[in-house]
Amino acid sequence: MKVTLTVIKADVGGFTGHSNVHPKLMESANKSLEAAKKKGIILDYYVAKVGDDLQLIMTHDKGVDYKKVHELAWDTFISATAIAKELKLYGAGQDLLVDAFSGNIKGMGPGCAELEFEERQSEPVIVFMMDKTEPGAFNFPIFKMFGDPFNTAGLIIDPNMIGGFVFEVLDIYTNKKITLNSPEELYTLLALIGTKSKYVIKRVYPRAGNKVSEKEAVAAISTDKLHLIAGEYVGKDDPVAIVRCQSGLPSQGEILEPFAFPHLVSGWMRGSHNGPLMPVGINNSMITRFDGPTRVVGLGFQIANGKLIGPADLFGDIAFDNARKTALDIADYMRRHGPFEPHRLSEHEMEYTSMPKVMNNIRKRFVGLDESTTSD
């Protein structure tokens, strides 16, 4: 059967501050999705949280961009927002940027990643969820999974994968996309995706020769940019991704491996700082120190006739203890820079934070070197 896996997330109120999701919001989302499952809108669901983001993981058989599922997610966030407002949770309704649902959740604030595929004899998938960062934070690990033989042994050992993979990359500022073939265009791919604030991997496809159809994306990443929708800084775009595993695709372990290196990402504190990406189990996903450090959770599921079997809390394992220790050491090191770059983002990236408002206040006080200064 063809199954669609849809992950839609939003920050609809933090408990406390921007750190976590209140259990009542989880309860409300569970109720809403249970009712939709009974009505047959979705086949199955799992409600998760990472930091202050509420994640709706849903399966159905109607393909990507299915209006009823997007609307369900929107309505679920609206109900949760009502509770968040009642409890005066922080930033209640923060990511719901428009007044009413208009056919597709994209462009309305919440983040969305979806994949439609023919369910294989066994269908393992991982849903990755990050808090306090941006979609480009996935560039490094997704590239390692599907493009780097030093990470993914299958790229040289599995005859399905030796042909490589196709990367679809978005320029999130112009909304244009480019498709690049790995391995032969690998350097061009890296030239783009190294600029992770602008070029973002959106999807990955297998190539001819793989037993998984080249028409089916095997990874999808949410690329929604809040400030581009709202026209001003309203928080980071904390992304999610779905990655299918095994049997012609990178194994679960090859897909987790990139996260053993806590690479630097942007989005820590006020969306304005670089810091390490720390892999954590779901029970350690509350954001604390300096509103971070940035975290990633990985939930494994087996999909069985559209049902979600799981999750397995993959980064809860001790194999990621060293990555956490390294991340915490890097966090100490980065924090000692205080307001200095490269802990704080570059001037260009700060344009998309609340910094321009500060700069506007002092702009007029800059004078030419040959002009006399006047004090205010």
- Give the interface segment with ligand F6R, choosing from 113-121, 146-154, 268-276, 300-308 (CB under 6 A): 268-276
Collect contacts of 310-316 with beta carbons under 8 A, ≥24 apart: 310/46, 311/46, 311/48, 311/127, 313/281, 313/282, 313/283, 314/126, 314/252, 314/256, 315/256, 315/259, 315/279, 315/280, 315/281, 316/280, 316/281, 316/282, 316/283, 316/284
CA distance 328 to 351: 28
DSSP 353-372: SSHHHHHHHHGGG---TTSP
Contact 18, 294 (CB under 8 A): no
Q: In the complex, which residue's CB is closest to Mg ion?
A: 18
Q: 98 with 26: CB under 8 angstroms?
A: no
Q: Could you tell me the smallest distance in angstroms from the CB atom of residue 184 to Mg ion?
A: 38
Transcribe 32-54 into DSSP letters.
Answer: HHHHHHHHTS-SEEEEEEETTEE
Q: Which of the residues 130 through 189 are near Mg ion (CB under 5 A)?
A: 131
DSSP annotation of 344 reads: B
Query: Closest distance between Mg ion and the C-beta of residue 268, in Å?
Result: 12
Query: Among 123, 238, 257, 291, which residue interacts with Mg ion (rule: CB under 5 A)?
Result: 238
Give me the least distance between CB of 19 and Mg ion, in Å please. 8
Measured from the CB atom, the residue of 236 and 343 that comes closer to ligand F6R is 236
Residues with active-site annotation: 11, 233, 236
**Count of positions on this chain that bind Mg ion (CB under 5 A):** 9
Question: Is 91 one of the binding residues for Mg ion (CB under 5 A)?
Answer: yes
- By C-beta, is 90 or 261 nearer to ligand F6R? 90
CB of 51 vs ligand F6R, minimal distance in Å: 8
Binding segment toward Mg ion, per CB under 5 A, in 5-13, 96-104, 180-188, 345-353: 5-13
Distance CA 118, CA 2 (A): 4
Select the residue interacting with ligand F6R from 5, 8, 18, 224 (CB under 6 A): 18
Neighbours of 337 (CB within 10 A): 13
Closest distance between ligand F6R and the C-beta of residue 267, in Å?
Answer: 7
Please name the residues in contact with 296: beta carbons below 8 A apart, sequence gap of 6 or more: 50, 128, 129, 130, 137, 259, 277, 278, 279, 280, 315
37 sits in the region (left: phi over 0; alpha: psi -120 to 50; else beta) called alpha
291 near Mg ion (CB under 5 A)? no
Shortest Å distance, C-beta 170 to Mg ion: 21
Residue 53 binding target from Mg ion, ligand F6R, none, CB below 5 to 8 Å by type: Mg ion
Q: Is 271 in the site for ligand F6R (CB under 6 A)?
A: yes
Of 239, 251, 323, 229, nearest to 280 by C-alpha is 323
**Burial profile 360-375: b = 16 or more Cβ within 10 angstroms, e = fewer:** eeeeeeeeeeeeeeee
Q: Are 298 and 279 in contact (CB under 8 A)?
A: yes
Number of residues that bind ligand F6R (CB under 6 A): 9
Binding mask 220-239 vs ligand F6R (x if CB under 6 A, - otherwise)? ---------------xx---
273 binds ligand F6R (CB under 6 A): no
Which of the residues 80 through 109 are near ligand F6R (CB under 6 A)?
none
Q: Which does 57 bind (CB under 5 to 8 A by kind): Mg ion, ligand F6R, none?
A: none
Stretch that binds ligand F6R, among 30-38, 96-104, 198-206, 267-275 (CB under 6 A): 267-275
Nearer of residues 18 and 295 to ligand F6R, judged by Cβ: 18
Task: For residue 53, state whether it binds Mg ion (rule: CB under 5 A).
Answer: yes
**270 touches, from ligand F6R, Mg ion, none (C-beta below 5 to 8 Å by class):** ligand F6R
CA distances to 40, 53, 189, 337 from 240, rounded to whole Å, are 25, 10, 21, 29
Q: Which of 9, 49, 70, 132 binds ligand F6R (CB under 6 A)?
A: 132
Among residues 21, 47, 52, 151, which is the contact residue for Mg ion, using CB under 5 A?
52
* Site for ligand F6R, rule CB under 6 A: 17-18, 132, 235-236, 269-271, 291
